[in-house]
């Protein structure tokens, strides 16, 4: 493993330095999550497009997976962050799941993305 240069704080050629380097290429998501992210609705693939644009900043949109109780196929939606306001209330924060694409405005199909 590489040594830290004490004057500059540089990690040298360590695997961690390579992974954290701004010049390191960002690989697109792969596997099941990537397949789910390719289209979030019948009319748009904004999540995949935004992820492609955000890849140069080592960033991607967070999504949530839904597994309907009626047995229909699972789907993804963009995750909208919520937080608990009153810490003494035992209930956790509510989920905010959009019914329209926040980027292009296309309505998500019910039970699908």
Q: Residue 100 — φ and ψ, nearest 5°?
A: -125, 150
Cβ distance 83 to 93 under 8 Å?
A: yes
Q: What is the mean pLDDT for each group of 10 consecutive residues in the chain (113 residues)?
A: 48 45 46 46 80 95 88 87 91 89 88 49
Would residue 18 count as lying in a domain?
A: no
Q: How far apart are the C-alpha atoms of 19 and 29, rounded to whole Å?
A: 16
Give the count of domains, the chain: 1
Domain that residue 38 falls in: 24-113
Would residue 68 count as lying in a domain?
A: yes
Residue 39 Rama label (left phi>0; alpha psi -120 to 50; beta): beta
Would residue 87 count as lying in a domain?
A: yes
State the pTM of this model: 0.54
Would residue 60 count as lying in a domain?
A: yes
Would residue 19 count as lying in a domain?
A: no
> At CA 99, angle to CA 44 and CA 58, rounded to 5?
55
């Amino acid at each position: 493993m590489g040594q830290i240069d004490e004057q500059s704080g540089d990690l040298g050629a360590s695997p961690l330095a390579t992974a954290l380097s701004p010049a390191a290429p960002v690989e697109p998501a792969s596997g099941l999550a990537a397949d789910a992210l390719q289209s979030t609705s019948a009319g748009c693939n904004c999540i995949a497009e935004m992820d492609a644009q955000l890849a140069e900043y080592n960033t991607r949109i967070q999504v949530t997976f839904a597994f309907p109780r009626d047995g229909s196929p699972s789907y993804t939606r963009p995750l909208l962050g919520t937080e608990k306001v009153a810490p003494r209330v035992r209930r956790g924060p509510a989920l905010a799941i959009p019914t329209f694409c926040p980027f292009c405005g296309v309505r998500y199909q019910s039970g699908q993305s």
